[in-house]
């Protein structure tokens, strides 16, 4: 029987691609993958800060707060926090041996710095239990170091270039600026066509902004465009100080 990636795999892969595009930019020669910087640009693509936030935040009821980022967010009432997924995402990643080639070593160092500075902060789903990360609706929040002073719109533009060559991912609109809690973000909606055909949460919105030298990255998964728009509006509850 043919197997297909779960929603958990798709969501995790998309989060990692946010980071890869942030570091390496849109593809230049290979139309199917993001290009890595050469030796001349590797240092410029290093994160401006690789320091993790002072804390990963906390949840009380349906309120998430993070003092190090000066933010608070009310996610939908009655939703479940997927603590197992958060812990799994924040486990150290084995990057393998450092290459001896200088060009490859520079790329390796940049990627290691990205991984060390990236943290999953929150994952909430309408459904709890073992299937929570495999279905929608769902909201995930992570932070990553800022690269080359790129904005959230820059990151999403790079993602659009990458995803535009993937047959089963459809970009709905160009990245557009939105404001939540006085903070500017950029939003881009996508449809994962294979997931939609199989009844999964194929409507997704990537929302990225810069806060305290880090990218705040929301990934919102839904079962319809209407549901997606409703979940995006939950970010109206964001408060920053």
Domain for residue 148, yes or no?
A: yes
Task: Detail the DSSP E strand segments found in 86-136.
Answer: 119-125
Residue 170, classified by CB atoms within 10 Å of its CB into exposed (0-12), middle (13-18) or buried (19+), is middle
pLDDT < 70 stretches in the chain: 1-54, 95, 109-116, 130-135, 195-201
Spell out a b/e string for 222-236, using b for 16 or more CB atoms within 10 Å of the CB, else e: bbeeebbeebbebbe
Measured torsion, CA atoms of residues 105, 212, 138, 114, in degrees rounded to the nearest 10: 10
Q: Per the domain annotation, does 34 fall within a domain? A: no
Q: Within a domain: residue 42?
A: no
Assigned domain for 159 exists: yes
Whether residue 166 is contained in a domain is answered as yes
Note if the pTM is more than 0.85: no
- Domain assignment of residue 203, given as a range: 7-27+69-92+101-240
| 74 within some domain | yes
Q: Is residue 205 part of a domain?
A: yes
Main-chain dihedrals φ then ψ at residue 193, nearest 5 degrees: -65, -40
Tokens of 64: 């998430």
For residue 75, the model assigns a pLDDT of 98
Q: Is residue 37 part of a domain?
A: no
Q: What is the pLDDT, as a whole number, of residue 135? A: 65
Distance CA 77, CA 219 (A): 18
CATH number of the domain that residue 193 is part of: 3.40.1000.10
* pLDDT the model gives residue 197: 60
Domain count, the chain: 1
Nearest alpha-carbon partner for 45 in 93, 96, 119, 111: 111
pLDDT score at 59: 97
């Amino acid at each position: 029987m043919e197997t297909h990636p779960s929603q958990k795999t798709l969501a995790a892969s998309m989060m990692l691609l946010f980071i890869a595009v942030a570091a390496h930019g849109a593809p230049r020669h290979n139309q199917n993958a993001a290009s890595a910087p050469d030796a001349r640009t590797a240092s410029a693509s290093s994160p401006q800060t690789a320091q993790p936030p002072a804390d990963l935040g906390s949840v009380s009821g349906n309120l998430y707060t993070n003092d190090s980022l000066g933010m608070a967010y009310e996610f939908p009432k009655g939703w479940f926090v997927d603590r197992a997924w958060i812990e799994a995402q924040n486990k150290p990643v084995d990057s393998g041996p450092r290459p001896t080639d200088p060009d490859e070593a520079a790329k390796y160092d940049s990627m290691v710095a990205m991984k060390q500075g990236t943290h999953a902060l929150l994952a909430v789903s309408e459904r709890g239990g073992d299937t929570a990360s495999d279905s929608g609706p769902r909201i995930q929040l992570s932070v990553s170091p800022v690269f080359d002073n790129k904005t959230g719109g820059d990151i999403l533009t790079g993602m659009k270039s990458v995803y535009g060559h993937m047959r089963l991912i459809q970009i709905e609109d160009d990245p557009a600026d939105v404001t939540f809690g006085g903070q500017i973000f950029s939003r881009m909606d996508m449809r994962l066509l294979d997931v939609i055909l199989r009844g999964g949460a194929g409507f997704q919105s990537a929302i990225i902004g810069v806060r305290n030298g880090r990218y705040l990255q929301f990934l919102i998964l839904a079962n319809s465009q209407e549901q997606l728009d409703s979940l995006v509006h939950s970010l109206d509850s964001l408060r920053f100080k």
